[in-house]
Amino acid sequence: MIDAAAGSTLFEEGDVADGVASIVEGTVEILKRGRVLATLGPGTVVGELSMFVPSASRNATARASTSVHMIKWQAVDLQDRLTRHERLATAIVADVAHVLAERLGRTTNDLVSLLDAVGTRLPVSELERFRSRAVQ
Rounded to 5 degrees, what angle do the CA atoms 41, 89, 44 make?
5
Average pLDDT score over the chain: 84
pLDDT in tens, 6-29: 999 999 999 998 888 989 999 999
How does residue 122 score in pLDDT terms, banded at 50, 70 and 90? low
How does residue 65 score in pLDDT terms, banded at 50, 70 and 90? very high
pLDDT of residue 7: 97
Q: Which of 38, 13, 34 is nearest to 110 (CA)?
A: 38
Q: Say yes or no to pLDDT of 116 above 70.
A: yes
- DSSP characters for 37-100? EEEE-TT-EE-THHHH-TT-B-SSEEEESS-EEEEEEEHHHHHHHHHH-HHHHHHHHHHHHHHH
pLDDT of residue 81: 78
Q: pTM of this prediction?
A: 0.71
- Domains of the chain in start order, with CATH, are 2-134 (2.60.120.10)
